[in-house]
Structure 1
Amino acid sequence: MHTTTDRPIRCLIAKVGLDGHDRGAHVIARAFRDAGFEVVYSGLHRSPEEIVRAAIQEDVDVLGISILSGAHDTLVPDVIEGLREAGAFADTLVLVGGIVPPEDERRLKDLGVAEVFGPGTPTDETVAFVREHVRERV
């Protein structure tokens, strides 16, 4: 649970790869802002390296990766590997939003993704998940 009182929960909503559909990313970014989180949006067509760099530069607590292209099984592991190599994974709650088949969801969670949210997930459910699982900053 996030109990740090010196700043709100900081989130990066990221679009990785060639996926150009960002409606869901904008919906969750708005829901997070409405919940009092600080939100940075990556913009479209970012590489895993750009996402990792932005997450570190913005000192985020949460990285939400929005992906609908089907490349989640390649791009998300690259992002997680980059966070690990940079020493930032332990402090970052990684979420994935989009269309992910159940067998791929399990693999992503085994790599360290905290949760996968599919289309139609109520935004208040996602906000509650973040509040419950974000790592405390000391």
Structure 2
Amino acid sequence: MNTNNRPIRVLVAKVGLDGHDRGAKVIATALRDAGMEVIYTGLRQTPEMVVNAALQEDVDAIGISILSGAHMTVFPKVIALMKEKGMDDVLLTGGGIIPDADMKELHALGVGKLFAPGTSTGDIAGYIREWVKEHRAF
């Protein structure tokens, strides 16, 4: 639990045609178990759908699970939409099969830490909790 009056709210999404959602569901469950409120959008979301849902749900973080190789298209599009809508205090994080060089490039665009398969769910929850504590004003 964070030190604020409400649980941390996280939107977990699968963008594009990637139909593998087991990892996203595992993360969503782990974040719930860590005391966070999780909104899972389900499969085949567009970047616009994800950002609009995040705005409607007033989330603290967006987590995108991506295994399709489209991360260099999806993350820049989502971060651009977030900036356009003034969501500068919302974390964009995620995970999947993303090469280190691409992670660095995405981080330079404003994307938060990205996690490879096999990362401890406790590490992911801890990262989100710390980021929110530093960047969000409740």
Q: TM-score with structure 1 length normalisation?
A: 0.94
Q: Which residue of 2 aligns with 1:24?
A: 23
Unpaired runs of 5+ residues, structure 2, are none
Describe the superposition over 1:80-137 as per-residue Cα deviations: whole angstroms up to 9, x where unpaired: 100000111x111111210001111111101111101000001001111111111222
Q: What is the alpha-carbon distance in structure 1 between the residues aligned to residue 16 and residue 116 of structure 2?
A: 18
Is the contact between residue 2 and residue 8 of structure 2 (CA under 8 Å) also seen in structure 1?
A: no
Q: What is the alpha-carbon distance in structure 1 between the residues aligned to residue 78 and residue 122 of structure 2?
A: 26
Q: What is the alpha-carbon distance in structure 1 between the residues aligned to residue 130 and residue 5 of structure 2?
A: 18
Unpaired runs of 5+ residues, structure 1, are none
- When the two structures are aligned, how many residues end up with a matched partner? 136
Q: How big is the shift at 1:5? A: 2.2
- Aligned-partner residue type, residue 40 of structure 2: Y
Q: What is the alpha-carbon distance in structure 2 between the residues aligned to residue 137 and residue 112 of structure 1?
A: 19
Q: Which residue of 2 aligns with 1:67?
A: 66
Q: What is the alpha-carbon distance in structure 1 between the residues aligned to residue 79 and residue 4 of structure 2?
A: 27
Q: What is the alpha-carbon distance in structure 1 between the residues aligned to residue 67 and residue 80 of structure 2?
A: 20
Q: Which residue of 2 aligns with 1:127?
A: 125
Q: What is the alpha-carbon distance in structure 2 between the residues aligned to residue 85 and residue 28 of structure 1?
A: 27
Is the contact between residue 10 and residue 39 of structure 1 (CA under 8 Å) also seen in structure 2?
A: yes
Q: What is the alpha-carbon distance in structure 2 between the residues aligned to residue 60 and residue 91 of structure 1?
A: 10
User: Which stretches of structure 1, 4 residues or more, deviate above 6 A after TM superposition?
Assistant: none
Q: Which residue of 2 aligns with 1:136?
A: 136
Identical aligned residues as a percent: 55
Q: What is the alpha-carbon distance in structure 2 between the residues aligned to residue 41 and residue 118 of structure 1?
A: 20
Q: What is the alpha-carbon distance in structure 2 between the residues aligned to residue 3 and residue 119 of structure 1?
A: 26
Q: Which residue of 1 aligns with 2:101?
A: 103
Q: What is the alpha-carbon distance in structure 2 between the residues aligned to residue 32 and residue 97 of structure 1?
A: 14
Q: How big is the shift at 1:3? A: 5.5
- Aligned-partner residue type, residue 45 of structure 2: R
Instruction: Select the structure with the greater relative contact order (CA < 8 A; seq sep ≥ 6).
Output: 1
Q: TM-score with structure 2 length normalisation?
A: 0.94
Q: What is the alpha-carbon distance in structure 1 between the residues aligned to residue 34 and residue 14 of structure 2?
A: 21
